[in-house]
Structure 1
Amino acid sequence: MMRTLAIFPAADRSTGFTLLELLVVLALLGLVAGLVAPALVKSVESWRAQSEVDRVTDQIRALPARARAHGRPLLIDDDVLASPDGPVSAADGWMVTTPDPWTVRANGYCEGGILVLARAGRDWRLRAIPPFCDVERVTE
């Protein structure tokens, strides 16, 4: 009868990670997260602001259709914009004003004007361009 010798390989200690290596990786991940998080929060806030500007822009573009549907002109001034059922409204925390009153006639002709959308010390100036109330952003 032949004798068999079982040979077991020595445990390879080079597989896996040491506790120190794992701690270094976790520290680096924490550092990267700390640097990226503020930029991510800022980009989300910027996205929300742009979304509100787009929503108000859509309302301005709809003014001629609204005037035609009601059969009467729409006066756009600060008093009308401040009312909750005004032709252009913004979300809570936002304010819509106009430096000079302007009108959209009953036939849908937009005389054009500027609306200022403001929030937290920052403002966006939107110009309604005659005759269709196309909107462009005014940069100064």
Structure 2
Amino acid sequence: MTPLRGYTLLEMVVVMALLALATAMVAPSSYRMIRTWREADKVERVLRDLATLPVTARAKGREWRLKPDDAQELSKAIAMPEGWRLNLDTPLVVRANGACNGASGTLQTGYQTLPFKLEAPFCRVRLLPAGTK
């Protein structure tokens, strides 16, 4: 009679325990990485919307005047994810011809605050190093 080949129940349990341990160690960092990628994508969308204000002003034939304390007008111009805020440090004027005066501000997400600058005359968005204005 030949011996039966295969795995014992104890060997299977040990393998399953090792797989569970490896998954428990890797899963949290994977979730953080995915969350970071999603937030970076949303930041890019908001900054792209901000950079397209001249195109919108030209298409509508109207000037945008955004004051630092005028969050309602800013929310009409740019779609923001829930809980995010876009704060302007200086007024932003985008003329009907698409030219902009330039401005600076911060984008506050759920996890970080990103300072940015809009450069005249085309409203090119440039992220600044943290801690600068």
Please state how far the C-alpha of 1:86 moved relative to its aligned partner.
2.0
Residue range with higher mean Cα deviation, 75-84 or 100-109: 75-84
State which structure, 1 or 2, has the greater radius of gyration over its C-alpha atoms.
1
Conserved 8 A contact 2:99-2:120: yes
Equivalents in 1 of 2:57, 2:121: separation in Å? 13
TM-score normalised over the length of structure 2: 0.84
Which residue of 2 is the match for residue 117 of structure 1? 107
Q: Does 1:105 align with 2:78?
A: no
Task: Note the aligned Cα RMSD (angstroms).
Answer: 1.9
Aligned to 1:54: 44
Unpaired segments ≥5 residues, structure 2: none
Instruction: Name which of structure 1's ranges 117-126 and 63-72 shifts more when overlaid on structure 2.
Output: 117-126
Segments of 5+ residues of structure 1 without an aligned counterpart are 1-9
Moved over 6 A (4+): none
* Identity value in percent: 32
Given that 2:66 and 2:73 are in contact with CA atoms closer than 8 Å, whether structure 1 keeps it comes out as no
The alpha-carbon distance between structure 1 residues 85 and 119, as it changes in their structure 2 partners (threshold 3 A), is: closer
How many pairs does the alignment contain? 130
- Does residue 34 of the first structure (1) align with residue 24 of the second (2)? yes
SS, match of residue 13 in structure 2 = helix
